[in-house]
Amino acid sequence: MFYRPETEAPLNALAEFLLREDNSLTRGERELIGTYVSYLNDCFFCQNVHGAVAGHYLNCSIDDIDAIKADFTTADISPKMKALLTIAGSVQKGGKNVTIEQVDAARSEGATDKEIHDTVLIAASFCMFNRYVDGLGTWAPQDRSFYVNRAPQRAVEGYVGSISK
């Protein structure tokens, strides 16, 4: 992949803040939003990197993450997370697909303005990252254990300086 450090810096800073900075949504919950959107966008690399990291934080296997991606409505996650994933799914289709009803449903499950904002921006930014990675035909290791094995290290190191690795 063509490497451009000047653009990588703000991209990494965005990922680092959105997915790892102190937040009322846990790191696992935020990685799950990114994973889900990447799954909807059929981006193999992103859904496996972030799915493995989500599994690491949520203490569940990659198979559990696959099950959540396929149908989060029946997953063992909070009603608030289900409402936020619904919003994320709408963002993936297009911003105008997010409805007032979906936002109200998230609020009624306790989601704050900041959590709704961050859910939309995480979903939107993964619509960028997925297109960037796939649009340039980035090579991705096909063996999923690669991502699972690297997840603990990624959870420690974060995303600063990570895109080119």
Partner 1 sequence: MAHINVPEGVPGIRSLVMFRPETGKPLYELAQILLRGESTLSPAERELIAAYVSYRNNCTFCYSSHAAAARCLYEDDALIVDEVLRDMQEAPVSDKLKALLNIAGKVQILGTEVKQADIDAAKNLGATDRELHDTVLIAASFSMFNRYVDGLASLTPTDPEAYAEMGVRMAKGYTLPPQPQQ
Q: Name the residues that contact partner 1, by CB under 8 A.
A: 2, 4, 6-7, 9-11, 13-14, 17-18, 21, 41-43, 87, 90-92, 94-96, 98, 100, 103, 113-114, 116-118, 120-121, 123-125, 127-137
Query: Which lies closer to partner 1 via its Cβ, residue 68 or residue 115?
Result: 115
Q: How far is the CB of 59 from partner 1 (least distance, A)?
A: 28
Q: How far is the CB of 161 from partner 1 (least distance, A)?
A: 14
- CA-to-CA distance for 157 and 16, rounded, in angstroms? 10
The set of residues, in sequence order, having a beta carbon less than 8 Å from that of 130 and lying 6+ positions away, is: 37, 38, 41, 43, 46
Q: Can you list the positions of beta strands (E) in 27-121? A: none
Query: Which lies closer to partner 1 via its Cβ, residue 137 or residue 165?
Result: 137
Query: Which lies closer to partner 1 via its Cβ, residue 48 or residue 90?
Result: 90
Query: Which lies closer to partner 1 via its Cβ, residue 32 or residue 105?
Result: 105
Say if CB 154 and CB 49 are below 8 A apart: yes
Q: How far is the CB of 91 from partner 1 (least distance, A)?
A: 5
- CA-to-CA distance for 123 and 128, rounded, in angstroms? 9
Q: How far is the CB of 43 from partner 1 (least distance, A)?
A: 7
- CA-to-CA distance for 95 and 106, rounded, in angstroms? 16
- CA-to-CA distance for 150 and 148, rounded, in angstroms? 6
Query: Which lies closer to partner 1 via its Cβ, residue 18 or residue 62?
Result: 18
Q: How far is the CB of 95 from partner 1 (least distance, A)?
A: 3
- H-helix or E-strand containing 70? helix 62-70
